[in-house]
Amino acid sequence: MKDYRSAIDKALMDQARLASMSEAASLARFQQEMFGGVTRQQLAELSQTASATQRALEDAAKPYGGVAQMMREIENQRRSVDEFLKAPGILEAIEEARRGHWASAFAGYKISDLSKLYGGSLDTVLSSAAEQSRHILSSTPVADAATAAAIKASYPLDSLIAGVSAKMTVIAGVTAVSGVETPAYDAAFHGLLGDWRLRPDLPERFWNDKSYREDRYRRADVDAGLIDVEPQVAVELMISSGLIGGTVEPDGAVALLSFGSVSMAIRATDAEVDAYRVIRSFERRLRDFIRGKLEAHAGPGWLKRRVDGAIVKRATDKRDAALKSGESVTDLLEFTDLGELMEIILRGDNWSDTFEAVFVNRDRFRQDMLTLLALRRPVAHSRVIDSPQLAEAMLVMHRLDARMSGA
């Protein structure tokens, strides 16, 4: 296991170091969508910024043989990491390491202290989680169990950051013991994010005014520490608490999420770009899930019978344009977006016949999808993602993936 962990840490951190040099290039890939709704003046300012960024990128790339060579190296590195993560046993090893992080983190708390965070409502579940953490620590050699303790020791026990870490650890424990569709999970989720739920129709001021945004969070009872910490620290806490898999190194933290057959890394140093990429990966996961389920229930012609005509028309137009530009993908479902995938699942017959048994709660599923849509929408690419948004998105994707994996 130690060999696995060493290889995992090296691969993920190498990816983070190389990818950090490509921030401008990563953003450039999104510029086509970012231009929607932008004024001429804003576009001119963006063009000036892009030119300055390009010059800075060219200067930074000179030691690496120029931009083209650097980009080839980055792409080769990403392919290498992708292949590494596909190797037999790697994802299992990462999951075992995550369990070790969680067990060591949970064991560091007194159940009585954790109980106070939830007014005693989670005592039974917390006791079961404590028993499970002891079992993991006694039966599994945890190669880097000190990571969680080191992160925790960096902050006073009564600090806001320690409170965030404790609540993330509880969410991970409750998920392991009772699952994601239980009152206990709802209470643990509420303890971190309160009544807050991200959605696409929030006023523009929410995205542009940090003080206004933080005031909205506080009025919704979002954890004060989560509001205050930077995304880089939030990623570190999610890893050290065992909420998600990954590694924490002096150079930065890299979280790893796996959705079905797709694995993605989130670098703490570039959470905005990586969070968007992870949501896109989750979108592919959801698309594959819909395809498999509806084909099994409605047969090969399911798309015409179980998808509204307007969605099919838009997808057909997109596919035709793509084919004219030289693309070879012909599957219409590949040309649907996240909002349309939500519509397909929530369509009356699809929900009652197929998806209700998977996602259980229609209103919760809709809200979860709206959360992701708020971050996935094109204009969001130019916004700074904060820690509450990042935590909510990670929890939502994890919850939905857990439901799909158990179906």
Full pLDDT tens readout for the chain, 407 residues:
444 444 544 554 454 444 443 333 333 333 333 334 445 554 454 445 445 545 555 565 566 566 566 556 655 555 555 565 566 677 777 888 889 889 999 998 999 999 999 999 999 999 999 999 999 988 765 544 444 444 444 444 456 788 999 999 999 999 999 999 899 999 999 999 999 999 999 999 999 999 999 999 999 999 999 999 998 889 989 998 999 988 877 777 788 888 876 777 787 777 777 888 888 889 999 999 999 999 999 998 999 999 999 999 999 999 999 999 888 888 999 999 999 999 999 999 999 999 999 999 999 999 999 999 998 875 555 677 899 999 999 999 999 999 998 86
Compute the distance between CA of residue 231 and CA of residue 234 in angstroms, rounded to an integer: 5
pLDDT on residue 18: 45
Compute the distance between CA of residue 196 and CA of residue 202 in angstroms, rounded to an integer: 12
pLDDT on residue 75: 54
pLDDT on residue 176: 94
pLDDT on residue 31: 38
Phi, psi dihedrals of residue 267, rounded to the nearest 5°: -85, 130
| Cβ(222)–Cβ(242) below 8 Å | no
pLDDT on residue 5: 44
- Comparing CA positions, the residue from 269, 239, 241 lying closest to residue 257 is 239
Compute the distance between CA of residue 407 and CA of residue 360 in angstroms, rounded to an integer: 11
| Cβ(71)–Cβ(22) below 8 Å | yes
Cβ neighbours of 316 (radius 10 Å): 12
pTM, entire model? 0.77
pLDDT on residue 132: 94
Compute the distance between CA of residue 131 and CA of residue 112 in angstroms, rounded to an integer: 14
Residue 2 contacts by C-beta under 8 Å, 6 or more apart in sequence? 143
